[in-house]
Amino acid sequence: MRTFVRGAAMWDVECPRRPGRTAGVTMAGFRVRDLQALRIVPYPAVTLLLEFGSGSPVLDCAAGRQQPGSFVAGPGLGSGGAVRAWGENVECVQVRLSPVTARAILGASPADLDGAVVSLGDLWGREASRIREQLGDVPSWQDRFALTDALLARRCAAGPPVDPEVAWAWRRIVGTHGLARVDGLAAEVGWSRKRLWSRFRSQLGLPPKRAVRLVRFDHVAHRLVAGEGAARVAADTGYADQSHLHRDVMAFTGATPSTVAGEPFLAVDDIAWPSRGTTAMPHISRELRPGHRPEVGRAPL
């Protein structure tokens, strides 16, 4: 277990030693003695938080609503800078689910979350309590990861998949860090624009244009955390100018780019999710190129 320190934030972080068996699923373990009003920065994934310690994390959401304990939240949790997390003696496994995989694992579409935070007990019933007990009973973090991995793999195998065309469109957006031409996605999969927009929204929980903005913002935010200048990042990531980037970052976080560059929620990714790969533009493989139809049955990303 490694210790992450950023300003006043000090957290113990553990990562799985082996890759999980389900595509589109990553996880990390956290132990935090004193979690002080942490700003939640939007991320292009469904967040599943499984807590099991003597304390309990609490999310302060919009309109003064609080969500204690284990929860599920759709892509973009924290948009507008309105969500804070706090707590004492917090121990949890945080899981990031690709929206493509989340539908099967959750047993419901991310669209059903409607951008809200939902108690895991409300979604999974008694199974949520059993998971909490099991995570607390096992002796090590690696055992907790193995237990969580088995649970998610079982649920994924039993759940409904998304349409391969929708999964392909999501991979296209992610693979280009949000630089894919939204208007061309439907043509590339051979569907009408109306059909793709409807299926994408209902199965992944957000419309394609929102997905493009969120994926691009995530890439931008992590480059800012890495110390790159806002002007250079704006030029590289498709913004009209630095002011355009500034407005987008403010819309997602309620904070300026310079403030976001110091956010612990983003900086911890280098330890918790070291292979996230957002700082360099990836090679666009054959299945992500225009004119190539999606292959049915490909694993989601």
- Specify the pLDDT at position 274: 86
For residue range 185-238, list pLDDT tens digits in order.
999 999 999 999 999 999 999 999 999 999 999 999 999 999 999 999 999 999
Domains of the chain: 2-158 (2.60.120.10), 164-288 (1.10.10.60)
Cα(198)–Cα(163) distance, rounded to whole angstroms? 12
| pLDDT higher at 278 or 208 | 208
Q: What does pTM read for this prediction?
A: 0.89
Structure tokens given for 96: 């990031």
Distances from the Cα of 116 to the Cα of 11, 201, 296, angstroms: 26, 15, 31
Under 8 Å between Cβ of 192 and 186: yes
What percent of the chain clears pLDDT 90, i.e. is strictly above it?
80
pLDDT band at 258 (very low <50, low <70, confident <90, very high): very high
- Specify the pLDDT at position 124: 94
For residue range 259-272, list pLDDT tens digits in order.
999 999 999 999 99
- Specify the pLDDT at position 287: 42
